[in-house]
Amino acid sequence: MPPPARLTPTAVPAALLARASDMSHHDTSTYGVLGIGGSNVALPISTLREVADLPEALTPAPLAPVWSLGAFMLRDEMIPVIDLARLLQLDDGTGTRNAGDRVAIVHWQSGVVGLRVDAIHGIMPVARERLQTLEHHDARTTALIPAAFNFSNDGEDRLVYVLELEALFALDGVMRSLSAGTVNDIGVNDLEHSRTPRQRHRALVIECLGVHLSLPAAMVREIQPLEKLAPPVIEIDGYMGTAPLRKSQMAVFCPLILARLEKRCKASAGLMVVVTVRGQLMGLAATRVLRMIDYDPAGVMPLADNHDNANATVAGIMTHPELGDSLLLDESRFATDQDFLTIAAMYAGQQEKGHTQGEVYRRFAFVHYDAFGQYVTPLEQLDEVIAMPEGFTPSTNAQEGWAGTLPHRDHAVSLIDLRRLLNTPHNTPATDVLIVACGDYRVGFMIDNARHIEYLDAPANSLIIRWRGEQEPDTPPIEQCKRLIVVGTGANKKVMSVLCLETLATLLVDINAEHHCTMIDAASQVASA
């Protein structure tokens, strides 16, 4: 396989450069000649940036025409790819492309797009009088290739069609990524995420007494409302009392005291973050839970020796562009007082009691969210939840639900407005995105907001599907991904209407693809009629 070749002046023979320079007046244009599907097309050389190998794995474009192949990341830049042969009806194939195909990177009006091609034939200065005006049987083709010229290659004359980029980008389903020169317009923070190391470091940012704390994600087990707090049975600084958690009680502590940031903590809190500290479950009181974030350990600034809380069990201060500064807890030193661990162990032991002898229980987790209506999706189906970015590459086919594509963590994420697919009003901007990983690609579902995660401890075999959605041929994907389920037994039985976003993402890319609803289809029984 030949290495990628850049179509820049440095790659052109000096003799040809001199000739192009001599003829570079208003009556002559210089084109790059590309081979596609047994034919040839030409683009102004000023728009051709480089040629590279087309990756085998592309992020598909949901709801897009067959000639829109998807997108890939090239040096931290997202490149949407168009198959010119299919667009110009030179190839009626619908499958994936073969390894070894090439992609020409085209720069046009501050944007970048990739065109799949078979070969690069060369660069050709063409006088205006050599251009032949074309008329085609349909207006779209006439607009796309309005002219042609003859080109000699290896002693053979070939007809080369001139591609009109303005008409190309006017088509529904065509998009382009903003080029590096305009990266600030789409949000530098979004591109910075794509440079995050593959070893991800995550933390949950909470607020207590006006202090922002970041809890390493490995500590966090769940978040629950703290509606009722029983007084402590023993007076220990930092021990606030107990709160009900399902069928038992959870010891609740003030995280500021456990982190040695405060000596007294009497503030009321409306949330409890359940964490694991050296194998023990305990609850941490919180005023607010802000967001799960990614961070770079190299960017965490240690506390100065003369800091007011120099002995605090924190790894340091980290800064988030939206949330500001927070104190990152040091998991290895947090809550080292044996009294805290003893109290936590006393109540945590009750969590294992109360199940029927010999019955296997499991924890079911569901994400509740709003999309002009309240919906539920199994947590296992979501790769992550992020705030809606300020900038992304928009689609010209947004009326069908595909909003565009977002570069995120070395992937191109296809953004789908879930509210539009659900046929619900969507005049207000989305605030959150639910990202679903489907093999090598990612789909992000735009929603009004993510509300909370619900955890249900129930017998593993208690999940029953009451309704599996419409599965008839030609049924829209949004209808095929719906489930009505029952989880739990007795007084703890819950009926839930579930959207299987993993199924939806798969069907949006390929309506005929095999699919299943993770956690639901695998762990469930189907109720008899």
376 lies in the same domain as 305: no
406 lies in the same domain as 522: yes
Cβ–Cβ under 8 Å, residues 345 and 277: no
Query: What pLDDT does residue 179 have?
Result: 43
Q: What is the pLDDT of residues 119-133, one digit of tens each?
A: 888 888 888 888 888
Distance CA 174, CA 186 (A): 18
124 lies in the same domain as 251: no
Query: What pLDDT does residue 331 have?
Result: 86
Cβ–Cβ under 8 Å, residues 438 and 509: yes
Q: Show the 3-state SS of 163-216.
A: CCHHHHHCCCCCCCEECHHHHHHHCHHHHHHHCCCCCCCEEEEEEECCEEEEEE
Res. 291: pLDDT tops 80: yes
The residue type of 269 is A
336 lies in the same domain as 435: no
343 lies in the same domain as 208: yes
Cβ–Cβ under 8 Å, residues 260 and 333: no
**Full residue range of the structural domain in which residue 273 is found:** 202-349
pLDDT over 90 percentage in the chain? 11
For 337, list phi and psi in degrees, rounded to 5: -60, 130
In a domain, 16, yes or no: no
| Of 178, 193, 218, the domain-final residue | 178
Please name the residue that has the structure tokens 């202090």.
Answer: 211
DSSP assignment of 454-468 equals EEEEEEGGG-EEEE-
| Of 178, 213, 238, the domain-final residue | 178
Instruction: Quote the Cα angle for 108-112-113, to 5°.
Output: 105
Strands 384-387 and 432-438: antiparallel
In a domain, 183, yes or no: no
Instruction: Quote the Cα angle for 142-148-149, to 5°.
Output: 175
| Secondary structure letter of residue 368 according to DSSP | E
343 lies in the same domain as 366: no
Please name the residue that has the structure tokens 């799960």.
Answer: 292
Distance CA 513, CA 283 (A): 43
Res. 49: pLDDT tops 70: yes
Cβ–Cβ under 8 Å, residues 313 and 221: no
| Secondary structure letter of residue 257 according to DSSP | H
Tell me which of 89-93, 376-380, 401-405 is least confident.
89-93
In a domain, 418, yes or no: yes
Query: What pLDDT does residue 97 have?
Result: 57
375 lies in the same domain as 334: no
Structural domains of the chain, count: 3
Q: Of 266, 520, 239, give the one whose Cα is nearest residue 379.
A: 520
Q: What is the pLDDT of residues 324-360, one digit of tens each?
A: 999 999 988 887 777 788 888 887 655 545 444 556 6
Q: For residues 179-207, give the mean pLDDT.
A: 49
Q: How far is CA 420 from CA 173, 398, 417, in A?
A: 17, 9, 6
Q: What is the pLDDT of residues 12-24, one digit of tens each?
A: 333 333 333 443 4
Helix (H, G, I), strand (E, B) or coil at 16: helix
Q: Show the 3-state SS of 323-339.
A: CEEEEEECCCCCCCCHH
Query: What pLDDT does residue 372 have?
Result: 86
DSSP assignment of 386-437 equals EEPPS--EE-TTGGGTEEEEEEETTEEEEEEEHHHHTT----SPP-EEEEEE
Q: What is the pLDDT of residues 454-501, one digit of tens each?
A: 878 788 788 888 888 777 777 888 888 888 889 888 888 889 889 999
Distance CA 28, CA 130 (A): 9
Q: How far is CA 99 from CA 73, 307, 386, 474, in A?
A: 17, 58, 33, 32
525, β-bridge pairs = 464
Tell me which of 42-46, 58-62, 276-280, 441-445 is least confident.
58-62
Query: What pLDDT does residue 92 have?
Result: 59
Query: What pLDDT does residue 15 have?
Result: 37
In a domain, 21, yes or no: no
430-441 as b/e: b if 16+ CB within 10 A: bebbbbbbbeeb
Query: What pLDDT does residue 400 have?
Result: 65
Query: What pLDDT does residue 176 have?
Result: 62
Cβ–Cβ under 8 Å, residues 509 and 62: yes
Q: How far is CA 516 from CA 286, 397, 442, 498, 506, in A?
A: 37, 27, 16, 13, 9
Query: What pLDDT does residue 411 have?
Result: 76
In a domain, 354, yes or no: no
Q: Of 311, 302, 330, 312, give the one whose Cα is nearest residue 203.
A: 330
Query: Which CATH number characterizes residue 402's domain?
Result: 2.40.50.180
| Helix residue spans in 213-331 (DSSP H) | 255-258
In a domain, 356, yes or no: no
Q: How far is CA 324 from CA 189, 205, 289, 329, in A?
A: 14, 10, 14, 16
Cβ–Cβ under 8 Å, residues 272 and 192: no
Cβ–Cβ under 8 Å, residues 388 and 431: yes
Cβ–Cβ under 8 Å, residues 147 and 162: yes
Query: What pLDDT does residue 200 have?
Result: 62
289 lies in the same domain as 330: yes
Helix (H, G, I), strand (E, B) or coil at 520: helix
Q: Of 51, 70, 31, give the one whose Cα is nearest residue 163.
A: 31
Q: How far is CA 299 from CA 52, 195, 292, 315, in A?
A: 34, 14, 17, 11
In a domain, 502, yes or no: yes
30, β-bridge pairs = 125
In a domain, 14, yes or no: no
Question: How sure is the predictor about 307, in pLDDT bands with cuts at 50, 70 and 90?
Answer: low
pTM of the model: 0.53
Res. 103: pLDDT tops 70: yes
Query: What pLDDT does residue 93 have?
Result: 58
Question: How sure is the predictor about 214, in pLDDT bands with cuts at 50, 70 and 90?
Answer: very high
Res. 453: pLDDT tops 70: yes
435 lies in the same domain as 508: yes
Token pair belonging to 440: 């090598």
Cβ–Cβ under 8 Å, residues 229 and 345: no
| Of 349, 383, 409, the domain-final residue | 349
Q: For residues 300-326, give the mean pLDDT.
A: 81
Res. 429: pLDDT tops 60: yes
Edge-to-edge strands of the sheet including 202-208? 288-294, 202-208, 211-216, 324-329, 314-320
pLDDT mean across residues, the chain: 77
34 lies in the same domain as 150: yes
319 lies in the same domain as 393: no
Q: For residues 48-70, give the mean pLDDT.
A: 78
Burial grade of 428 (CB within 10 A; 0-12, 13-18, 19 or more)? exposed
Distance CA 431, CA 415 (A): 13
Which of residues 89 and 240 earns the better pLDDT score? 240
Res. 215: pLDDT tops 90: yes
Q: What is the pLDDT of residues 400-413, one digit of tens each?
A: 677 888 888 777 78
212 lies in the same domain as 335: yes
pLDDT over 70 percentage in the chain? 78
